[in-house]
Structure 1
Amino acid sequence: MTAAEARGTDREGPCTPGLCVLCGLPAAGKSTFARALARQLRQERGWAVGVLSYDDVLPEAPQDGTGARPPPSQWKTLRQELLKYLECFLIVVTNGGQMSAPANIAEAMWEDFITCLKDQDLVIPVVSEAQSCYVLAKTVISRPLLLVLDDNFYYQSMRYEVYQLARKYSLGFCQLYLDCPLETCLQRNCQRPRAVPNETIHLMGKKIEKPNPGKNAWEHNSFTIQSPACSMEASLEVTDVLLTALENPVKHIEDNVEQKETDRIICSANILHKVDQALRRTVSQTMKEAKDEQILPNNLKLLAEDLNKLKAGFLEDLRQGNKKHLCFPQTTDISDVISSFCNEKDNIMQKYFSKQH
């Protein structure tokens, strides 16, 4: 008998709301699974369940046949915007009161988000002269509430942002990973009305960072589901993971050395990514300037090699903390890194410009 069976289907007293991250490759079956899970939990356990599918709220890909989404920087901004909306709802869940649109929003996205909540009987509108406001539906107040976030979440940092929300509001947190063979995802994708480019799925398959409870303490309450097969035993285990999340909310303040180290690593990774992007832009602009100066093709090739070698050195120093090239404190300011890189880049450029004259 699992812990879920031992607890029974009924609960007494209030229950902490929970956030469940549902992740996996495109066409792994996440949305189908999320709908089935929500239906089962509502019918068999009497829970209030909300499925927030990112595909239903974030802007669709343009109708140009490519399936291309906004640039990565814009896409990240949109995801951050959606998390802001989710936080508005969590504030009402934890503190009560009314929910209204935050300032400077993407209006269409907010409306899709609200529609998602209303369609699942999570919020109801209230009359207000100033603006549209919403309160929790009575059915949400009187029973356990689980929010399932349905998206690829292929980077650990994407899922960690949700965990931070759970920690901020002392909510339950868990992760479900749908492990579906790449070939199956590709076959399913081809049958979709609006298919994702196959190269996107291939690329995501290489990049995806599966939940790793052994490495990351915050991922300890995670479960891998073998898709497309999902047995009754797996279903019971999923319920057990969800119950564990609801009954063990994340502590708001964690005096935990391991957790602090995890935070530091993720922060460092984000800084490294931003620096890498900035240095790539700088190198690209420098090469454009060199071409405009009509530097000889052979020298252009050597210049590109020197600049990329310099960039690689900077990034490695950031990873290792050696600071061989860098003159800035440990609390890294990205602008200082770029400034230092540009100084050395200018020295290299001068060498090639002097060859021209």
Structure 2
Amino acid sequence: AAGGAALAAVEQQQQQRRGGGGGARVGLCLLCGLPAAGKSSLARALRRRLPQRPGWACALLAYDELIPPEAFSPPGAGPQQPAPSLPGWKRSRRELLQCLEGFLRALLTGAPLPGPAQPGWERFLGCCRREGLLAAAEGDTGAASRPLYILLDDNFYYQSMRYEVYQLARKYSLGFCQVFLECPLECCLQRNRLRSDPVPEQTIQLMARKIEMPDLRKNAWEQHSLVLSSSDCIPEDNEQIMNLLTAALENPERPNEEDTEQKEAARAICATSAVHQADQACRRVISQAMQDAKGKNILPSEMKSLAEELNKLKAEFLEDLRQGKTLKTQYSDPATSAISSFQHEATNVVNKYICK
């Protein structure tokens, strides 16, 4: 059974992590789109399909089941009850991600599962049980080496909502992909009206105005994304979906990858700050040196040459500081080291004019 396959995969991956024998192959797949776009139907179809072919263990986590309905009610703050810092639905989404991370940590490292102290855990735990992630093994011993795919079914209409899940995938070196179902608003509204518990139409209309499609050119983290038209039924063995899931599993996200652009920007800021600090200090040194020289009755024409020579010296020191070519002194800070060296050289230049 699919539940036994999922559990066997969990147990095998825990053993691998404890023993250091290779990384667990786990993938997170987001199913995104407007309400009634067909996400849940596709999710259930994939849930049935993946354990059969290509033989992956699979679990479906639907946000509609995991976020309590009261989370969408207006906050009821009173005189003795201050208004919460976050709307209920935002708080519930955050708690859900915390539960998911607690489960992934236990799955991949053998750490204990979160307990009742974790908000939303009992509801999350119940869903995991129904999906077979925590149920007793059902004899499918051949599933022990199977990858595990966790399907997350939600609107995910903001990129920031999807990025939070991507961060988990990167942190734990998981596969990550997203299937975005694009369906005309009117089609979604018509389907929604046929539901036994329809979503308020103004909610769907608001989401349609705010929804943010995957942007592969802007967001490198969305490289494993697929946008499908869901006006018609999407077959569960859709070749594009299967290729996407496979590619994400075979190319897991890398944890703690440094953002090269941010790192270079930070270095540039630090370097600019050091140069600015040194520039201000060198200006003060030159000003004091010129005052000392004036007190020694140096001729005006010589004073002009002295100023030009000191400013040229300052420019050379600042350029060396920009290039990281500061001389080694007793100071570990490059700016302080450059200022100290400049002060020494400036004194030598002034003395040269005084001794003429």
Paired position in structure 2 for 1:201: 204
Counterparts in 2 of 1:209 and 1:196: CA distance versus 1, 3 Å: same
In structure 1, what is the Cα distance between the partners aligned to 2:173 and 2:196? 40
**Equivalent of 1:44, from 38, 44, 53?**
53
Cα distance in 2 between the residues matched to 1:210 and 1:259? 24
Partner of 1:338 in structure 2? none
The counterpart of 1:166, out of the listed 166, 169, 173, is 169
3-state SS, counterpart of residue 42 of structure 1 = coil
Distance 1:255 1:165, change over 3 A: same
C-alpha contact 1:15 1:246 (8 A) present in aligned 2: no
Inter-CA distance 247–15: structure 2 relative to 1 (3 Å threshold)? farther
CA change 1:216–1:260 in 2 (3 A) is: farther
The one-letter amino acid paired with 1:57 is L
1:90 equivalenced with 2:97 (yes/no): no
Q: Does 1:217 align with 2:220?
A: yes
Give the count of matched residue pairs: 231
Alpha-carbon deviation of 1:141? 4.6
CA contact (8 A) 1:23 1:30 kept: yes
Q: Aligned residue for 2:30? A: 21
Residue in 1 that maps onto 2:160: 157
For residue 115 of structure 2, the aligned residue among 101, 125, 128 is 101
The one of 122, 143, 158 equivalent to 2:133 is: 122
Question: 1:244-269, CA deviations, whole angstroms, 9 ceiling, x for partnerless residues?
Answer: 111111110213335879xxxxxxxx
> Could you give the per-residue CA deviations for residues 24-81 of structure 1, whole angstroms, max 9, x where no partner exists?
001111111100011111112221111110001111259xxxxx64567221111000
Q: What's the Cα RMSD here? A: 2.7
Indicate yes or no: 2:60 matched with 1:59.
no
- State the distance in 1 between where 2:230 and 2:108 align: 34
| Residues 257 and 230 (structure 1), Cα distance of their counterparts in 2 relative to 1, 3 Å cut | farther
Say which of 87, 95, 107 aligns to 1:81. 95
Alpha-carbon shift at residue 142 of structure 1 (Å): 3.1
Matches within 5 A, 1:1-357: 16-60=25-69, 69-70=73-74, 73-101=87-115, 103=117, 105-106=118-119, 109-124=120-135, 141-230=144-233, 235-257=238-260
Per-residue CA distance 1:297-353 (angstroms, 9 max, x = gap): xxxxxxxxxxxxxxxxxxxxxxxxxxxxxxxxxxxxxxxxxxxxxxxxxxxxxxxxx
2 CA distance for matches of 1:89 and 1:32?
A: 25
Q: Sort the Cα spacing of 1:211 and 1:224 in 2 relative to 1 into closer, same or farther, 3 A.
A: same
Per-residue deviation, residues 145-194 of structure 1 (Å, max 9, x unmatched): 01111100110000000001011111111111010111110001111111
Larger radius of gyration: 2
Residues 40, 83 of structure 1: CA spacing in aligned structure 2 closer, same or farther, 3 A cutoff? same
Q: How far does residue 110 in structure 1 lie from its aligned partner after superposition? A: 2.4
**TM superposition shift of 1:232:** 5.5
The runs of 5 or more residues in structure 2 that have no matched partner are 1-21, 76-85, 265-356
Distance 1:212 1:166 in 2: 18
Q: SS where residue 217 of structure 2 aligns?
A: coil
Change (3 A) 1:26 1:47: same
**TM-score (structure 2 length as normaliser):** 0.60
